[in-house]
Structure 1
């Protein structure tokens, strides 16, 4: 039995950034920016949890370099092309995930205030599943606003 998500014989499993961005802007027009961000982060978190589970990373004690490499393989250039995960660092209890070529930033002009909602959500969900902890996520640096990476920071919620 074929998987409905990957069974497109001619077109394959990938869609364009243009189409994905149209979904985002259409949702923003219909629902508003805040409601859209909440929905996309939530959808991303679910996706990220499932990615981490499928990689056997639930509750992992592996080092962050290894985890970053595994996640990058799944959602980077050899995977779904959502984003490249360049590194994960623990900065005094704050987990920082450095991403490049995020789908959310693609095609945006420099100075855009666009946030990486779905992408951050996916990384957030993965990191929650990996650490086994409830995390709070924030998009702190952006390639659209002078950063070298899109950086997502996660702190454990009390």
Structure 2
């Protein structure tokens, strides 16, 4: 099997290219199908990330999980987003993020939801906590919030 590593370019590509993929998918599949596909892809990425970080089924606090995800996904990692904090409010877990790749370059007041990034946090939390969740993007920096907030409610 040939060596498929990018020796000069490495693991990263541009937001411009990623956003073009999203726009192409929306043109071909429609917004709803694209959102489902990107969220699912994000969840798979998040689960794999949690495994790679050795977090699967860990008993770490949400603060510790947030710190580890922030390192892996933030400026020192893949630059998907900044994870500021993850908190529990009753049964609901809220992740506070910013500079998400999904919303980069979007106009203020855009209705775009953050699908892939939310999915990555979602999948990581499911892998770490051992529970299935329903995820919703509830607050957006595009619409005046200080953070993109993702809320995860346990299923069943």
Q: TM-score range by the shorter chain?
A: over 0.9
> 1:85 maps to which residue?
83
Q: Which runs of 4 or more aligned residues in structure 1 lie more than 6 Å from their structure 2 counterparts after TM superposition?
A: none
2:30 corresponds, among 2, 22, 32, to 32
**Residue 3 (structure 1) shift:** 6.9
- Cα displacement (A) at 1:93: 1.3
Q: Which residue of 2 aligns with 1:101?
A: 99
Aligned length: 156
What's the secondary structure of 2:65's corresponding residue?
helix
CA distance in 1, matches of 2:32, 2:3: 33
**1:9-158 map, 5 Å:** 9-158=7-156
- 3-state secondary structure, aligned to 2:116: helix
SS in 2 for 1:25: helix
Offset of 1:39 from its aligned partner?
Answer: 0.4
Q: Pairwise CA RMSD of aligned residues?
A: 1.3
| Deviation digits for residues 2-40 of structure 1 (CA, Å, limit 9, x no counterpart) | 973xx2122121100000000001000000000000100
How far off is 1:58 after superposition?
0.9
Listed one character per residue, the Cα deviations across residues 43-91 of structure 1 (whole Å, up to 9, x for unaligned) are 0000000000111111121111111010111111111110110000001
Report how far residue 94 of structure 1 moved.
0.5
CA distance in 2, matches of 1:137, 1:52: 17
TM-score, normalising length from structure 1? 0.95
Task: Structure 1 unaligned segments of length 5 or more: list them.
Answer: none
Q: Within 2, Cα distance between the matches of 1:108 and 1:38?
A: 20
Query: 2: CA distance between counterparts of 1:27 and 1:131?
Result: 31
